[in-house]
């Protein structure tokens, strides 16, 4: 049985210091929405719910469908009414977010329901379990780069992305800021964290 690793997709390639224009295909995710500082219990609870369900789906796919794959890293969409609170002021209390994990396109609502029930039957099930939904995200044209370092040090890279590269390429920002966490922050020092920063864009009318 071949184990598929979706990180081989072109949309998961990025280099530090390079801003790439990519066409991201429609992809399916497990998602949980929330608001506020990602260092709070609400965000941690979302992560604690997403990963057990992602692994339950993986094992069910392997045993029932004969399709094995690597569970993908955590991702998140971030936005705020005033984006300066995200890119400049870093006022995390004003942020909205969607925590999510990519799953194969063959994942069904029925499979998600079965996985949620299975995880819920275990001892001390995660609080955010029943907030998980399955949704297809269509980002299309995007610009992305790799940030190496702590999350709070993203500001300079985001400023270059938003204020220099995107307008310089005659593009306009649209959609929500997207981060892909290639490193596990519990095991990797902040200075070595690897994060793909992605911004959906469009061409001016």
User: pLDDT tens digits, the chain, 205 residues: what are they?
Assistant: 679 999 999 999 999 999 999 999 999 999 999 998 888 888 999 999 999 999 999 999 999 999 999 999 999 999 887 666 666 666 787 889 999 999 999 999 999 999 999 999 988 888 889 999 999 999 999 999 999 999 989 989 998 999 999 999 999 999 999 999 999 888 899 999 999 999 999 998 7
Q: Which domain holds residue 177?
A: 3-37+72-106+133-202
Total domains, the chain: 1
| Domain-embedded: residue 150 | yes
| Domain-embedded: residue 145 | yes
Q: Read off the CATH number of the domain in which 78 is found.
A: 3.20.80.10
Q: What are residue 90's phi and psi, to 5 degrees?
A: 55, 45
Structure tokens at 9: 């997709």
Q: What are residue 163's phi and psi, to 5 degrees?
A: -100, -20
| Domain-embedded: residue 126 | no
């Amino acid at each position: 049985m071949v184990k598929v690793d979706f990180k081989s997709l072109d949309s998961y390639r990025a280099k530090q210091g390079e801003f790439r224009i990519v066409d991201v295909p429609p992809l399916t995710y497990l998602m949980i929405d929330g608001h506020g500082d990602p260092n709070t219990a609400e965000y941690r609870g979302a992560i604690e719910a997403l990963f057990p369900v992602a692994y339950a789906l993986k094992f069910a796919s392997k045993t029932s469908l004969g399709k094995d794959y690597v569970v993908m890293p955590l991702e998140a969409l971030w936005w705020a009414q005033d984006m300066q609170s995200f890119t400049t002021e870093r006022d995390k209390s004003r942020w909205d977010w969607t925590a999510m994990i990519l799953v194969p396109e063959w994942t069904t609502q029925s499979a998600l329901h079965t996985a949620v029930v299975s995880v819920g039957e275990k001892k001390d099930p995660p609080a955010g379990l029943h907030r998980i939904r399955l949704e297809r995200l269509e980002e299309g044209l995007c610009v992305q780069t790799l940030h190496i370092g702590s999350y709070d040090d993203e500001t300079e890279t985001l400023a270059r992305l938003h204020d220099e590269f995107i307008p310089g390429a005659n593009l306009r920002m649209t959609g929500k800021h997207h981060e892909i966490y290639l490193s596990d922050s519990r095991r990797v020092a902040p200075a070595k964290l690897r994060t793909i920063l992605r911004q959906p864009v469009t061409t001016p009318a």
